[in-house]
């Protein structure tokens, strides 16, 4: 078993990379251009799935799983629910992009890509690819609880704040409907 | 029968894949046989061939967006085919980042804009993990940073969507072109 | 009187009738389980042992070795593929018969001998039904949804295979270092398929079902994952084989009773004993919490709001028919099986017997039976003697028997819950998830982490 896997690692990796890229780039454009915004939300799940494939190629198993669990299922589902709550069918027959921003947006994106690409190309990277951490999960856990425990704690505070803040923002200002009578009143008010 | 735009788009995609494959065979064959193949020049030639083919298909009535997307994906493959792995991954990250930036600038729907921001955050994550794999492979600190980005992205998505919902309640629309009450 | 003849023919609904039906139910379960696991066993033996051996025997050179290795690597996936459809058929039949038992009825008893083939007939019927895509539906998403719902149940449970076969060499390579985390990540995917299918059906009932399922899955995923994480803290590993191995050696070493806290407690100090007792109690609560959250995760009654037949027609699968509906159905029951397996591996000691002596006796018996077969039969068939030996690995066999017993007990328990409890209302469901389960799971996580140090 081990023989087959180690033999094919060097040849399979680029093939998998290009396959994932050819899947990822059209999907990423689909997120932006698809007319139906909810379908775009589901396409986003595909993009996150391919990104987790890229993480697997980069020997980051833990992160690939976290990517699927948090991004592809958690965040995207919340996005899709928000889309369904905001009545997307109103905008369906219009173009998904703002006409005035198309050319500046394209130029900005091109400029950003060219800058980053040239910067990457001009750098000589001190490579150490032949070393591989056998258990990256352990290393992550170690650093998370020793050197980086302060940011770790702060991220938990951030999450708590985001939780409370989003509840406060999303809560409607209407009075709570407690009794049947109150319910009817609130309904009458909302229809008026 | 395929419709005309679809037929031209498919024809373009097939031709472009053939051109890219030829280039890839050139790169791979050169590393094996050392025949003096110049990847820079051949890459330039292949990219211009992709562009010319795309223009031809678009003029004949192809589906513009499909051609552009296929062209960009394949041109990316040509661009990174002779690079080392780290540069490949980082270029992919740059491409995804620019796609996300384009989406953020042009989107009409506020939620789609948030989705583009998620794309950009993910691009950064790819960068981090690639650096962790190739430069810091023992103490994979890039992955650690990616986990923090994941956390922040989750918080960002929650708050952003709550804001979008609040706007929807007030405006009955999440069209970005109608959020101009603070313009003047 | 005619009524007296009728009462003589049909046993009165009473304890005798129930015992008679219970006997029939047990007989049916045993028959079906033998069929299922016999089929899986023979399939994996063929692919993993016999075919590679034959190829390496008759084809010389490196190629044969390579093909043999590929076949061996395919064994886990082949056994899962063989297992899933037959198992789903059995579980549907088992559910109907058990529900009939709980509500004092007879259940399906016409097709085949005493209704044994009822679900096989249902499956054939579903396969031949017309596959309809409703008007206005998003055809691609509509087709993709059942696949996304079903695919994780094939690939998601692979690391568990290594644990339930006691690290058999054919299955040990599917044991990933991030084992249980992989299983959890995969088991979170199906809800995407649900939401996708419900939106693509272009049906309001479906959409409501899909939204409910999304909200439910996002809320109940947290206590589910937290309870599993607590077990990982106790074991100090994400590797399922290691977690399973740590629970060997008797009932008290199972994680559901504190994972060895009671046996390792220092009898001299009061603190240690009290801590061990509290820890085992909290682990029992943790296990119950896992069962509740898992029940919600696979949309079983009392958490079946996404499909709620009496409110939403059939929720997300209202518009599905034919083979797509069959795939949804298959995946639902496979998911129930997978969460039961996770519970078995993480809490109920995996392949370990309640008493360590039982394990030794059983393994010893199987080994001596094998040796007897080797001596008496193997001698007559010459070279084929090793085939008999390769057919049964005593440790794996005994472990698999215990796992089967535990998993199907949990499945029957889920059916019992289904037959007993009414459905939640959506606001009660959310309240229960966010206000009870999540705080409780966080408290237990902290409590068990501290108690583990005190024991």
User: Residues C240-280: pLDDT tens digits?
Assistant: 888 888 888 778 888 888 777 777 777 778 888 888 888 88
| Contact call for B154 and A75, based on CB within 8 A | yes
Same domain membership, residue B96 and residue B162? yes
Search chain A and give the residue with CA nearest B156: A162
Search chain B and give the residue with CA nearest A147: B141
From chain B, pick out residues whose CB is under 8 angstroms from the CB of A92: none
Does C7 have pLDDT greater than 70?
Answer: no
Neighbouring chains to B with at least 3 Cβ pairs closer than 8 Å: A
* Predicted pLDDT at C328: 86
Choice among A96-110, A127-141, C263-277, C417-431 with the minimum mean pLDDT: A127-141
**How far apart (Å, rounded) are the C-alpha atoms in residues C85 and C77?**
13
Average per-residue pLDDT in chain A?
Answer: 79
| Contact call for A84 and C69, based on CB within 8 A | no
Instruction: Give residue C79's domain range.
Output: 12-105+116-121
**How far apart (Å, rounded) are the C-alpha atoms in residues A82 and A76?**
10
Same domain membership, residue C17 and residue C75? yes
CB B80 within 8 A of CB B88: yes
Tell me which H or E stretch contains A108. helix A102-122
Instruction: Identify the CA nearest to C340 among candidates C106, C153, C189.
Output: C153
- Residue A48: pLDDT band (50, 70, 90) is very high
Q: What is the mean pLDDT of residues B38-63?
A: 74
| Contact call for B111 and A37, based on CB within 8 A | yes
Q: What is the mean pLDDT of residues C294-320?
A: 80
Same domain membership, residue C80 and residue C145? no
Same domain membership, residue B16 and residue B98? no
Same domain membership, residue B72 and residue B88? no
Q: Which of the listed residues C57, C92, C121 is the one where a domain comes to its end?
A: C121
Q: What is the mean pLDDT of residues C352-379?
A: 79
Residue C21 lies in a domain: yes
**How far apart (Å, rounded) are the C-alpha atoms in residues C198 and C211?**
8
From chain A, pick out residues whose CB is under 8 angstroms from the CB of C217: 73, 77
How many folded domains does chain C comprise?
A: 2
| Contact call for A42 and C189, based on CB within 8 A | no
Q: Which range has the top average pLDDT, A150-154, C153-157, C239-243?
A: A150-154
| Contact call for B137 and A131, based on CB within 8 A | yes
Instruction: Give residue B94's domain range.
Output: 84-184
Residue C174 lies in a domain: yes
**How far apart (Å, rounded) are the C-alpha atoms in residues C160 and C78?**
15
CB C394 within 8 A of CB C370: yes
The domain that holds B137 is classified in CATH as 1.10.287.3510
Helices (H), C313-393: 322-346, 356-373, 379-381, 385-391
Residues forming a β-bridge with B175: B109
Same domain membership, residue B155 and residue B116? yes
Let me know if chains A and B touch, i.e. at least 3 Cβ pairs under 8 angstroms: yes
Q: Which of the listed residues A38, A64, A92 is the one where a domain comes to its end?
A: A92
CB C161 within 8 A of CB C181: no
Same domain membership, residue B72 and residue B92? no
Same domain membership, residue B179 and residue B93? yes
* Predicted pLDDT at B75: 80
| Contact call for A55 and B129, based on CB within 8 A | yes
Residues forming a β-bridge with B107: A97
pLDDT digits (tens, 9 = 90+) for A27-39: 998 888 888 888 8
Classify residue B124 by burial, with Cβ atoms within 10 Å: 0-12, 13-18, 19+.
Answer: middle
The answer, for C65 touching chain A at a CB cutoff of 8 Å, is no
Q: Which of the listed residues A92, A125, A148 is the one where a domain comes to its end?
A: A92
Same domain membership, residue B123 and residue B58? no
The whole-angstrom distance between A56's CA and the closest CA on chain C is 12
Does B97 have pLDDT greater than 90?
Answer: yes
| Contact call for C70 and A4, based on CB within 8 A | yes
Q: What is the mean pLDDT of residues C344-358?
A: 84
**How far apart (Å, rounded) are the C-alpha atoms in residues A72 and A80?**
11
Tokens of A127: 């490579």
| Contact call for B94 and A155, based on CB within 8 A | no
Tokens of C314: 């059939």
How many folded domains does chain B comprise?
A: 2
CB C240 within 8 A of CB C162: yes
The whole-angstrom distance between B1's CA and the closest CA on chain A is 24
Residue A106 lies in a domain: no
Tokens of C252: 């008290």
* Predicted pLDDT at A6: 45
Q: What is the mean pLDDT of residues A155-173?
A: 85
**Helix %, strand %, coil % for chain A, to 5?**
80, 0, 20
* Predicted pLDDT at A1: 40
Residue A12 lies in a domain: yes
Neighbouring chains to A with at least 3 Cβ pairs closer than 8 Å: B, C
* Predicted pLDDT at B58: 73
Tokens of C361: 């006796």
Q: Which residues contact C152 (CB under 8 A, 6 or more apart)?
A: C186, C187, C189, C190
Instruction: Identify the CA nearest to C350 among candidates C233, C244, C260, C250.
Output: C244
ipTM of the complex: 0.82
Let me know if chains C and A touch, i.e. at least 3 Cβ pairs under 8 angstroms: yes
Pick from A67, A126, A166: CB nearest B162: A166
Q: Which of the listed residues B25, B48, B82 is the one where a domain comes to its end?
A: B82
Search chain C and give the residue with CA nearest A60: C178
The whole-angstrom distance between A118's CA and the closest CA on chain B is 10
Residue A118 lies in a domain: no
Q: Which residues contact C366 (CB under 8 A, 6 or more apart)?
A: C392, C394, C397, C398
- Residue C11: pLDDT band (50, 70, 90) is low
Instruction: Give residue A40's domain range.
Output: 1-92
Same domain membership, residue A154 and residue A79? no
Q: In terms of pLDDT, which residue wins out, C223 or B46?
A: C223
Residue A77 lies in a domain: yes
Same domain membership, residue B137 and residue B50? no
Same domain membership, residue A72 and residue A159? no
Tell me which H or E stretch contains B49. helix B39-59
Residue A113 lies in a domain: no
């Amino acid at each position: 078993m081990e023989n087959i896997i180690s033999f094919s690692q060097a040849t399979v990796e680029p093939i998998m990379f290009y396959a994932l890229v050819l899947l990822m780039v059209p999907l990423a454009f689909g997120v932006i251009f698809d007319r139906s915004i909810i379908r775009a939300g589901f396409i986003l799940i595909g993009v996150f799935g391919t990104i987790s494939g890229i993480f697997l190629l980069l020997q980051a198993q833990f992160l690939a799983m976290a990517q699927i669990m948090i991004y592809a299922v958690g965040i995207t589902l919340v996005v899709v629910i928000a889309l369904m709550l905001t009545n997307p069918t109103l905008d369906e027959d219009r173009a998904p992009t703002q006409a005035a921003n198309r050319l500046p947006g394209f130029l900005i994106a091109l400029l950003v890509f060219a800058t980053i690409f040239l910067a990457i190309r001009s750098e000589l990277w001190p490579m150490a690819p032949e070393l591989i951490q056998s258990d990256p999960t352990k290393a992550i856990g170690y650093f998370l609880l020793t050197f980086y425990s302060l940011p770790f704690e702060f991220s938990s505070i951030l999450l708590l704040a985001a939780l409370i803040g989003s509840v406060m923002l999303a809560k409607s200002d209407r009075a709570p409907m407690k009794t049947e009578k109150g319910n009817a009143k609130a309904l009458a008010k909302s229809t008026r | 029968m395929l419709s005309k735009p679809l037929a031209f788009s498919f024809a373009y995609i097939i031709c472009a894949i053939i051109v890219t494959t030829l280039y890839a065979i050139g790169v791979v064959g050169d590393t094996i046989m050392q025949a003096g193949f110049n990847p820079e020049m051949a890459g330039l030639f292949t990219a211009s061939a992709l562009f010319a083919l795309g223009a031809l298909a678009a003029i004949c009535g192809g589906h513009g967006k499909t051609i552009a997307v296929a062209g960009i994906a394949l041109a990316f493959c040509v661009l990174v085919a002779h690079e080392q792995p780290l540069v490949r991954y980082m270029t992919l990250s740059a491409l995804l980042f620019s796609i996300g930036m384009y989406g953020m600038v042009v989107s009409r729907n506020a939620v789609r804009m948030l989705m583009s921001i998620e794309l950009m955050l993910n691009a950064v994550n790819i960068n981090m993990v690639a650096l962790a794999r190739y430069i810091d492979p023992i103490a994979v600190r890039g992955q650690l940073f990616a986990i923090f980005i994941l956390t922040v992205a989750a918080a960002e998505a929650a708050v952003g969507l709550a804001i979008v919902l609040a706007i929807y309640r007030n405006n009955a629309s999440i069209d970005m072109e109608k959020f101009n009450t603070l313009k003047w | 009187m005619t009524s007296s003849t009728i009462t003589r023919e049909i046993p009165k609904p009473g304890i005798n009738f129930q015992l008679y039906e219970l006997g029939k139910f047990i007989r049916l379960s045993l028959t079906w389980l033998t069929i299922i696991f016999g089929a899986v066993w023979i399939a994996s033996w063929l692919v993993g042992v016999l075919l590679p051996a034959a190829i390496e025997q008759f084809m010389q050179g490196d190629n044969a070795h390579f093909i043999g290795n590929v076949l061996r690597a395919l064994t886990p996936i082949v056994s899962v593929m063989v297992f899933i459809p037959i198992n789903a058929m059995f579980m549907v039949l088992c559910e109907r018969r058990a529900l009939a038992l709980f509500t004092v009825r007879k259940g399906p008893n016409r097709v085949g001998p005493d209704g044994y083939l009822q679900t096989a007939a249902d499956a054939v019927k579903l396969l031949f039904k017309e596959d309809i895509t409703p008007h206005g539906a998003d055809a691609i998403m509509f087709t993709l949804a059942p696949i996304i719902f079903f695919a994780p149940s094939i690939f998601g449970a692979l690391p568990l295979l290594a644990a339930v076969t006691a690290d058999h060499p054919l299955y040990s390579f599917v044991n990933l270092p991030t084992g249980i985390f992989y299983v959890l990540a995969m088991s979170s995917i199906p809800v995407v398929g649900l939401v996708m299918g419900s939106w693509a059906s272009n049906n309001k009932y479906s959409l409501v079902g899909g939204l409910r399922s999304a909200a439910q899955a996002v809320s109940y995923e947290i206590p589910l994952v937290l309870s599993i994480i607590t077990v990982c803290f106790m074991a100090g590993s994400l590797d399922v084989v290691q977690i399973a191995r740590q629970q060997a050696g008797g009932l008290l070493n199972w994680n559901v009773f504190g994972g060895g806290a009671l046996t390792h407690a220092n009898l001299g100090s009061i603190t240690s004993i009290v801590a061990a007792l509290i820890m085992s109690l909290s682990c029992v609560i943790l296990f119950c919490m896992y069962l509740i959250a898992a029940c919600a995760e696979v949309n079983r009654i009392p958490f079946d709001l996404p499909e709620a037949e009496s409110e939403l027609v059939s929720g997300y699968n209202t518009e599905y028919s034919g083979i797509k509906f069959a795939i949804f159905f298959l995946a639902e029951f496979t998911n129930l099986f997978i969460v039961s397996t996770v519970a078995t591996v993480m809490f109920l000691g995996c392949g370990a017997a309640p008493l360590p002596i039982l394990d030794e006796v059983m393994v010893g018996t199987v080994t001596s039976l094998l040796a007897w077969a080797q001596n008496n039969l193997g001698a007559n068939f010459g070279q084929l003697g090793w085939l008999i030996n390769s057919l049964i690995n005593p440790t794996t066999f005994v472990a698999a028997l215990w796992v089967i017993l535990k998993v199907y007990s949990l499945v029957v328990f889920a059916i019992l819950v289904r037959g007993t409890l009414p459905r939640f209302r959506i606001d009660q469901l959310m309240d229960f998830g966010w206000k009870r389960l999540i705080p409780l799971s966080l408290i237990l996580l902290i409590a068990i982490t501290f108690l583990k140090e005190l024991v």
